[in-house]
Amino acid sequence: MIRVLIVDDSALMRALLTRKLEAEPDITVIAVAANAAEARTLIKSHDPDVVTLDIEMPGMDGLAFLEKIMTLRPTPVIIVSGSTHEGAAATARALQLGAVGCYAKASANRSLADDDSGELADLVREAASVRLAARPQSSRPATAPAIKRPAVRSQAAPFALSPEVIVIGASTGGVEALNSLLAGFPEDCPPTLIVQHINACFAPAIVQSLDRAARPRVRLAESDHPLQAGEVLLAPGDDKHLMVAPAGSRGYRAVMRAGDKVSGHRPSVDQLFASAARTLGDKALGILLTGMGEDGARGLAAMARSGAHTIAQDEASCVVFGMPRAAIALGGAREVLALDAIAARIFAPTKVIS
């Protein structure tokens, strides 16, 4: 059973979230708290697997409390926030501070009333896996199967990279990772397209947050937008796939296309990467960051087969190693690097190997 602590100053919201999660056979709500002080005591006494956290609370607000949790007792946290401008901005900040997921309160009310597809429960399951993956090997049960780590081909020396377009995919823990990665991008970086699995109502605030931290301009992707150096485009998460396509005889453009979910997602990292493989071949660079599941693994492998350079984030720096692990197993990663080494690998001067 996944043990959840709900922290929210609204009695109604505590009841709604409890009802929703208790309907799941593998999830139990072990306690609820109305403020940070109550939550702190309950975390110490109950050691929950996952915490759902409201941002707007009396006394210590959710962001301040999240910082304390991440510093003193790291625990997977899902932000349950309003989808107003203020709520979305605070949620974007929380994801940068280490929250592993976000859920819109409007969706929470609708979920409980209409018995939706279980978005909140799925987020809780992902968050619980974050904690299990982060535990040291010695704390695993004796009966737990050993993890088989795919072999990674190392390179004798780095060679220069000069991609015309960069494509990036991320999921759980991805907003924090993107914030770190883009901080190392130069102002005139190649045009960059990103698919981050996120609720669409939070995407504009995440773009604003990333834009403040990055030297290139970060904006929401729009269909038929020409790709330009110094610009980073994030998929808005509005039930359309983000892809790269040719723009006339020269250049490229971002396109948004409706379609079924691919690898369980829309927008899908696999769709973005596959379009880069078709359109750009060896002129593209693909980066697959932290995330649950396998979205992006087949697409990164397709890019590698097309001659593109491909990078997967390493296990030690991932919140969840699922997506990079799957790509490595398929032979899709030419390099496996720590998060803080990726930007330097792309943009730092290197000796060209002839």
- Last residue of one domain, picked from the residues 89, 113, 135: 135
Domain count, the chain: 2
d(CA 184, CA 173): 18
| Amino acid at position 223, single letter | S
Could you tell me what percent of the chain has a pLDDT over 90? 73
Instruction: Look at residue 131 in the predicted model and tell me its pLDDT.
Output: 54
Quick: pLDDT tens for 201-216.
Answer: 899 999 999 999 899 9
Paired residues of 252 in beta bridges: 246
Span between the terminal Cα atoms of the chain, in Å? 56
Domain contains 304: yes
- 326/239 same-domain check: yes
- Angle between helices 322-329 and 297-305 in degrees, nearest 10: 40
Q: Which of 44-48, 52-56, 168-172, 345-349 has the lowest mean pLDDT?
A: 345-349
Average pLDDT value for the chain: 87
Q: Is residue 83 very low, low, confident or very high in pLDDT (cuts 50, 70, 90)?
A: low
- 180/123 same-domain check: no
CA distances from 90 to 66, 79, 225, 330 (A): 12, 9, 29, 37
* pLDDT, greater one: 114 or 63: 63
- 191/122 same-domain check: no
Instruction: Look at residue 177 in the predicted model and tell me its pLDDT.
Output: 95
Q: Which of 8, 49, 270, 295 is catalytic?
A: 295
Find, among 286, 292, 294, the residue nearest to 312 by Cα.
Answer: 286
pTM to 2 decimals? 0.86
Q: Which of 54, 111, 129, 197 is catalytic?
A: 197
d(CA 319, CA 129): 10
- 214/303 same-domain check: yes
- 50/176 same-domain check: no
CATH code for position 234: 3.40.50.180
pLDDT of 340 over the 80 cut: yes
Domain contains 160: no
CATH code for position 77: 3.40.50.2300
- 47/173 same-domain check: no
- 341/197 same-domain check: yes
Instruction: Look at residue 153 in the predicted model and tell me its pLDDT.
Output: 43
Quick: pLDDT tens for 274-301.
Answer: 999 999 999 999 999 999 999 999 999 9
Q: Is residue 116 very low, low, confident or very high in pLDDT (cuts 50, 70, 90)?
A: low
Domain contains 152: no
Active site residue 197: yes
d(CA 270, CA 268): 5
Domain contains 153: no
The residue segments making up the domain with residue 13 are 2-135
Instruction: Look at residue 132 in the predicted model and tell me its pLDDT.
Output: 38
Domain contains 16: yes
pLDDT of 91 over the 80 cut: yes
- 332/208 same-domain check: yes
Domain contains 201: yes
Q: Which of 111, 129, 171, 209 is catalytic?
A: 171
Instruction: Look at residue 144 in the predicted model and tell me its pLDDT.
Output: 31
Quick: pLDDT tens for 131-158.
Answer: 533 333 333 333 333 333 344 444 444 6
- 130/174 same-domain check: no
- Last residue of one domain, picked from the residues 113, 135, 157: 135
Find, among 117, 98, 92, the residue nearest to 107 by Cα.
Answer: 117
Domain contains 147: no
Domain contains 146: no
